[in-house]
Amino acid sequence: MRKHLIVYLSIVVVGLAIVFAIRAMTRPTASKPIASKSSATAAASLAALPPNSLASPSDKQIMLAGNLIEASATDAKGYNLLASAFMQKARETGDFGFNARAEAALNKSFEVAPDSYDALKLRAKLLLTQHRFREALDAANKARQLNPRDHDIYGALTDALVELGQYPQAVEAAQTMIDLRPETASYARVSYLRALHGETQGSIAAMKMACTSANLASPEQVAWCAVQLGDELFNAGSLKDAEREYDRALYVFPNYYSALAAKARARVAAGDTQAAINLLTQAQKRVPLPETAVALGDLYFKLGLEDDAARQYKLLEFIEKSGDDSAATYSQQLALFYANTDTRLDDALRIARREREGRQDIYTCDLLAWALYKNGDLENAKIASDEALRLGTRDARLHYHAGMIQAALSNRAEAKKHLNLALEINPHFDVRQADIARTTLKKL
């Protein structure tokens, strides 16, 4: 998957100086979701940190929400603030248990104020994080009817529509958002939509505007924008400019896990695999993510360190077995991993078909195409691949998959066209698959 496949939440200040004691104190258990008093209790436990402990903006927000709830347990404002803080904490830490707490806080908010607009808007955003895109779209539309002048709700609308593959409507929603308030979150969505439609330079220009408008008092926001701009430049083949943006992100927000992983890709492209391994290892320690584990495993595999690669790949099994929100969120990454490594191909196809039933975005179509190809259903793989290319997206992986499918169908001219284009767009799009693309081209 493209790293920022979902751009669905307004850019927020994310403090990644995470105190792991905080995580332990606030981690929810599966058997005990928040009840009516749990919101205040969770906030109170966080507020009891030693005076010298570092706290991120979301931690401070949780403390403030706890105080509001304790002062007035029948006011929705405190619960909404708590839900927002827990959602931000989930983004900071990669711990989806915080989203469960956010959901429970929202449920309490609706109890005390059934018509709360802020709670409805937050629910739309939370549903997006849970990949419940149709429900998110319904909630966002309901919120828009209540307050059509709130630019923020058009962000949730845009994201839900993008994930469902309803691109014309997504463009319309993003345009409304930027008309209401041209700012970082608006420009970022415009950038992504332009990239989806193959408008590389337009995407870069919009992301530069997002960077320019980022709040300088919010280092994470500046760093996030720099990473996204770097990714657009990287995909356009401007490797030095991309790495400069990754370095800028790390300068303004040291040890930012997203920038560490991004700079690792740049180091791989430069042939500096040891630096890439070090960077990915740091990123994984900060926030363990499946894409980081796969990237690290692929590097080890390429270097012939198969035992080390296997240890990284094994981390994905924990996600699949977790049964929580992370399993649903990362299901597409799991399916792609299975297909890429020719393991559990039945499961890869099962997941891809299930995902395709619920959404028609180009990356889900591409995943289905790849899983079908790996399972030998070439004709249907081509149909799905054509769907994935329908916007003219300049994404190396999409064209690599299309080329391999065409090669299997003995359509040599089409296969060469797509494989050449994949390597032209980004010869470093994947540590393992790019080599396969080159080998296949030589055979053709």
| Of 237, 233, 236, 279, residue with least CA distance to 258 | 279
Alpha helix ranges (H) inside 147-272: 151-163, 167-180, 184-196, 200-213, 219-235, 239-252, 257-269
Backbone angles phi, psi at 410, to 5 degrees: 65, 25
* 29 bridge partner residues: 32
Provide the b/e sequence for 42-58 (b: ≥16 CB within 10 Å): bbbebbebeeeeebbbb
Q: What span, in angstroms and rounded, lies between the C-alpha atoms of 309 and 295?
A: 9
And the tokens for 281? 């290892």
* 32 bridge partner residues: 29
| Of 90, 170, 103, 169, residue with least CA distance to 132 | 103
Contact between 123 and 104 under an 8 Å Cβ cutoff? The reply is: no
Q: What span, in angstroms and rounded, lies between the C-alpha atoms of 201 and 187?
A: 14
Alpha helix ranges (H) inside 94-182: 97-112, 117-129, 133-146, 151-163, 167-180
Q: What span, in angstroms and rounded, lies between the C-alpha atoms of 145 and 117?
A: 10
Provide the b/e sequence for 193-214 (b: ≥16 CB within 10 Å): bbbbbebbeebbebbbbbbebb
Contact between 341 and 312 under an 8 Å Cβ cutoff? The reply is: no
- Residue 50's pLDDT is what? 38
Encoded amino acid at 207, one letter: M
In the three-class reduction of DSSP (H, G, I as helix; E, B as strand; rest coil), residue 116 is classed as coil
Distance of CA 384 to the CA centre of its chain: 23
List Cβ neighbours of 323 (8 Å cut-off, separation of 6 or more). none
CATH of 330-443, one of 3.30.200.20, 3.40.50.620, 2.140.10.10, 1.25.40.10: 1.25.40.10
Alpha helix ranges (H) inside 323-390: 325-329, 331-340, 345-358, 362-374, 378-388
Q: What span, in angstroms and rounded, lies between the C-alpha atoms of 216 and 220?
A: 9
Distance of CA 286 to the CA centre of its chain: 16
Q: What span, in angstroms and rounded, lies between the C-alpha atoms of 250 and 42?
A: 32
- Residue 323's pLDDT is what? 54
Backbone angles phi, psi at 393, to 5 degrees: -65, 130
Contact between 418 and 402 under an 8 Å Cβ cutoff? The reply is: yes
Residue owning tokens 């065409």: 406
CA geometry: angle 346, 352, 358, nearest 5 deg: 140
Backbone angles phi, psi at 32, to 5 degrees: -135, 75
Q: For the chain, which residues make up each domain, given as ranges?
A: 1-114, 330-443
CA geometry: angle 261, 263, 265, nearest 5 deg: 75
- Positions in the chain whose pLDDT score sits under 50: 1-40, 42-53
Instruction: Identify the DSSP state of 287.
Output: S
- Residue 96's pLDDT is what? 73
Range 247-254, long-range pairs (CB < 8 A, 24+ positions): 248/223, 249/222, 249/223, 249/224, 250/223, 252/219, 252/222, 252/223, 252/226, 253/16, 253/219, 253/220, 253/222, 253/223
Q: What span, in angstroms and rounded, lies between the C-alpha atoms of 428 and 293?
A: 18
**Sequential DSSP letters for 46-104:** HHTS-TT----HHHHHHHHHHHHHHH-TT-HHHHHHHHHHHHHHHHHH--THHHHHHHH
List Cβ neighbours of 386 (8 Å cut-off, separation of 6 or more). none
And the tokens for 188? 């970022």
